[in-house]
Amino acid sequence: MLAPLRLVASLLLVFASAAALCGQGLDVGAAGLEWGEALLSMPEPPLGYTVSKDPLLSDDRVVGYQVKLTKKDSASKVIVEISLADLSERRARVAVCKGCVGSLAAGLQSAGFRMTTDKMPDMDNVDFDKPVVVELTFDDDNGKKIRVHKRLFFTSKGYDVSVLATDEADFRPLVEWAARIRPAASGW
């Protein structure tokens, strides 16, 4: 029972680190954004899962939001990070994609995991007209395995939808659920 809880704590630490590394500053008040602005469209959570939303802060400024889909006593989760920075430019999008994938990998490696498989496009040549999909697998010396599925997509904002699962039975259903997450008022 304690091992899954330690893993959950490690994963939350990894995502907090990734949020700090991926976040870019924007003064919400100056940008005219409201706390209640609809940023995301998502389906009803799967049975047993709950959703929470927290602001991502940098120097007391809201730079984005983190939406978490979690289940009690389970290490499997979906974490959506929304960057409020203007990510209209291709160069900024490439940097965010590389930074989010790199910081996740570095965080899991510092928690004792090593990447054993990866499936990701060449970020310098990716087409941002559709979501960028990355699949990673991490293992540790104790035989624990974490599967990661990331979908990164952009409007003027950036969206990083990450599924992390230690249980194969949770992984595919969560990936399918997360594939239905869209920017609010999205045409796709």
Instruction: Label residue 64 left, alpha or beta by phi (over 0 means left) and psi (-120 to 50 means alpha).
Output: left
- Residue spans of alpha helices (H) in the chain: 2-22, 28-31, 90-110, 168-178
Q: How far is Cα 48 from Cα 29, in angstroms, rounded to an integer? A: 36
Residue 74 CB-density burial (10 A; 0-12 exposed, 13-18 middle, 19+ buried): middle
d(CA 22, CA 101): 9
- What DSSP element (H or E) covers 157? none
pLDDT of residue 38: 81
* Domain layout of the chain by residue ranges: 2-183
Residues facing 57 on adjacent strands = 62
Containing 26, the helix (H) or strand (E) segment is: none
* Rounded CA separation 135/112 (Å): 19
Mean pLDDT of 58-84: 95
Q: If you classify domain 2-183 with CATH, what class do you get? A: alpha beta
Query: Do residues 126 and 97 lie in contact, with contact meaning Cβ atoms separated by under 8 Å?
Result: yes
pLDDT at 13 over 60: no
Q: What is the mean pLDDT of residues 141-151?
A: 96
Give the predicted TM-score (pTM) of the model: 0.80
Helical packing angle, 90-110 and 2-22, nearest 10°: 150
- Would the pLDDT of 99 be above 80? yes
Q: Which of 24-28, 34-38, 131-135 has the lowest mean pLDDT?
A: 24-28
Report the pLDDT averaged over residues 52-80. 94
Indicate if the pLDDT at residue 127 is higher than 80.
yes
